Amino acid sequence: MSHCGGAESRLRCVLPFAAVPAEVPLLRRAVVRQLSRWGLPAATGEAELIVTELATNVVKHVGEGASATLVLECRGGLLRVEVHDRSRVMPSVTEAGCDAECGRGLHLLRSLATDWGAEPTAAGKAVWCETALTREESCPQATRASRVIENYQRSREADAPSEGQLVPVLEESAIELIADLLHWTAERGRDPEEILDRAQTRYAAEAA
C-alpha cells in the first residue's frame, strides 16, 4: 500500500513491503510507475538499482520476512531513496572493503549516489541515497506540459467532446494545465507573464 503526496517543491511516496526476494522486482516496478507519474522517467534507471540494493540488503542482513518501508522523495533537484527497517545494526563501508553487514551493495550505492548514509530511527534505522536530477527532471509540471502539447498537436483534428461529456473536474484540470504551461515556458527561458498576456490578448480577440 502506498501513500503519496505532491507539491511544487516536494514530492513524496511511502511504500511498505516485506523483505522477501519476490518483493524486490515488485518494488522496482512500483518505483518506475511512481517516477513516471512525477514526470521523472529519466531517473528510473539509477533509482531501480538503488532500490534493488537497499531492499536486498534488508533481506540478507535483517532477515527474510522482516517489515520494511521504501520512501521516495523529490525535493530541491534531488531524488532521495530511503529504506527503513527494524534492525539497529548500522551498515559501514571501509577503504579496504565492506564488512559482513553491508556486503558489496553499498560500494555500488556509493558509486551511484550523490550522497548516502544511514541513521537511527525510533523503530530501527534508515539507509538513504540521494541522486541529482537534471534541470528538465526537476520540473515535473514542465514535463507534463510537454506531453500535453504533443498530444494536443496530434489530436487537433479529432472530434470535440459533446457538452454531455463534460464534467466539473475539467475546470480544475484546465487551471492545472495553464499553470503547467507557464512552467514549460519558463523552462525554455521565456517570460511566463508575457506569454500569459499574449494568450489573454488572443483569447479576447477571438472571443470578440
Q: pLDDT by residue (tens digit) across 35-72?
A: 888 888 888 888 998 999 899 989 988 999 899 999 99
Q: Are 45 and 133 in contact (CB under 8 A)?
A: no
Of the pLDDT bands very low, low, confident and very high (cuts 50, 70, 90), residue 77 is confident
Angstrom CA distances, 2 to 13, 17, 57, 97, 129, stand at 7, 10, 21, 35, 20
Q: What is the pLDDT of residues 129-162, one digit of tens each?
A: 998 886 555 566 666 665 665 565 555 445 554 4
pLDDT at 129: 92
Q: What is the CATH number of the domain that holds 65?
A: 3.30.565.10
**Pair (14, 111) in one structural domain:** yes
Q: Tell me which DSSP letter residue 53 carries.
A: H
Q: Same domain for 95 and 168? A: no
Please state, in angstroms and as integers, the Cα–Cα distance from residue 127 to each residue in 31, 53, 100, following that order. 17, 11, 16
More confident residue, 136 or 99: 136
Q: Is 58 or 199 the better-scoring residue by pLDDT? A: 58
Domain closes at, from 103, 132, 161: 132
**pLDDT score of 185 more than 90:** no
**Domain check: are 168 and 116 in the same one?**
no
Burial 62-98 (b: 16+ CB within 10 A, else e): beeebebbbbbbbeeeebbbbbbbbbeeebebeeeee
* Residue 86 three-state SS: coil
For residue 151, what pLDDT is reported?
A: 61
Looking at 89, 112, 132, which one is the last position of a domain? 132
Q: What is the mean predicted confidence (pLDDT) over 90-102?
A: 51
Three-state secondary structure call for residue 166: coil
pLDDT of residue 130: 92
Domain boundary among 105, 132, 159: 132
pTM of the model: 0.59
Residues 90 and 166 in one domain: no
State the pLDDT at residue 141. 60
What pLDDT is stored for residue 19 in this prediction? Answer: 94
Same domain, 55 and 17: yes
Q: What does the mean pLDDT of the chain come to?
A: 76
Domain of 57, in residue numbers:
3-132
Percent of the chain with pLDDT over 90: 29
